[in-house]
């Protein structure tokens, strides 16, 4: 499927990490999500009912991340993917989660995953 909806550079604050300060203090996380969906019905009808509601998905991601206490960016990415796949129009999703400044001398560190509705 070639159609993509991209949510770029969603900057949120979350408790994430394994160190004491990471468990206590919120940190920036940078999130990018690519939703793979067939956008032709919405493109033909110009009706929101035929579209993937990326605003609703983004609000869900914000609520999930800002209320989370994950230890690993891998877990955060997996939960964002699961949430995105709840929308019936989303067939696959790619999620990148980065922690800016987490490593000395590196601008950022992160993980990118891809999940599909049919994955086991």
Express each pLDDT in 62-106 by its tens digit.
999 999 999 999 999 999 999 999 999 999 999 999 999 888 888
Q: Give me the CATH number covering residue 92.
A: 3.30.1130.10
3-class DSSP state of 116: strand
To the nearest 5 percent, what fractions of the chain are helix, strand and coil? 30, 40, 30
pLDDT digits (tens, 9 = 90+) for 3-38: 999 999 999 999 998 888 888 899 999 999 999 999
Residues involved in catalysis = 99
pTM for the structure as a whole = 0.93
pLDDT at residue 113, as a whole number: 98
Residue 62 inside a domain? The answer is yes
Residue indicated by tokens 């990471």:
22
- Helix spans in 18-115 (H): 20-24, 40-45, 54-66, 73-84
Residue 120 inside a domain? The answer is no
Q: Classify residue 38 by its DSSP letter.
A: -
How many structural domains comprise the chain? 1
- Domain membership of residue 77 as a residue range: 4-102
């Amino acid at each position: 499927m070639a159609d993509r909806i991209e949510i770029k550079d969603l900057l949120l604050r979350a408790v994430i990490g394994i160190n004491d300060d990471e468990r206590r203090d919120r940190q920036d996380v940078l999130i990018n999500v690519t939703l793979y969906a067939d956008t032709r019905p919405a493109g033909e009808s110009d009706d929101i009912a035929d579209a993937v509601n990326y605003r609703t998905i983004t609000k869900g991601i914000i609520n999930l991340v800002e209320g989370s206490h994950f230890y690993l960016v891998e877990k955060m990415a997996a939960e964002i993917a699961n949430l995105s796949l709840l929308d019936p129009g989303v067939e696959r999703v790619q999620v990148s989660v980065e922690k800016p400044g987490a490593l000395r001398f590196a601008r950022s560190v992160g993980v990118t995953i891809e999940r599909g509705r049919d994955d086991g």
